Amino acid sequence: MSIEIEVLNGDASWELAHPLFKAIWPPEVVAQLPWAGITFAHADLRVLVQDDTGDVLCHVGLYRRMITWNGQKMHIGGIGGMLTRADVRNRGLATMALNAAIQTFQAEGTVNFATLFCAPDRAPFYMARGFKPFDGTVYVEQPNQGRVRFAAIAPYVHDLKRTAPTLGTIDLGGLPW
């Protein structure tokens, strides 16, 4: 099997990514997850790993945001919606897609650090790839609620332009990813 990795505009590539989301996270599955009912941001960019027929095998959403960390404004990159089709897992596709996401942020040169949110069973995967737990508090925006503390899934950070903070308060100033 040959694969292709592309970094595409988030909105324009949603049509390609959407079938993978529906297959892995159908409404009845999402309803049982800790993050059910949370409104998430739309990706600015998407890393898509596709097979030679164009089917999307793996997806990573990339988000750019000006946030506040301990009162200091800075640009960070978000990583979210990481999915791999069940029949091609454990082949390194997710690692390749995650690496492409990190390399995209590094190439831009404006992102201070990256952050993602994940369930406890996914944490070892990300930690083996350079992410570390953020043990502080995270605030996000939610429709009809305004600014709320985000604790449904744990935050992890990755060094980019600067060493990522592991403590303090991050305010995403918008929807989570």
Question: Which domains does the chain possess?
Answer: 3-171 (3.40.630.30)
Please, which pLDDT band fits residue 147 given cuts at 50, 70 and 90?
A: very high
Chain mean pLDDT for the chain: 97
The residue among 121, 122, 149 whose CA lies nearest residue 137 is 149
Separation CA 90–CA 43 (nearest Å): 25
Instruction: Check pLDDT > 80 for residue 135.
Output: yes
Separation CA 176–CA 42 (nearest Å): 9
pLDDT in tens, 96-128: 999 999 999 999 999 999 999 999 999 999 999
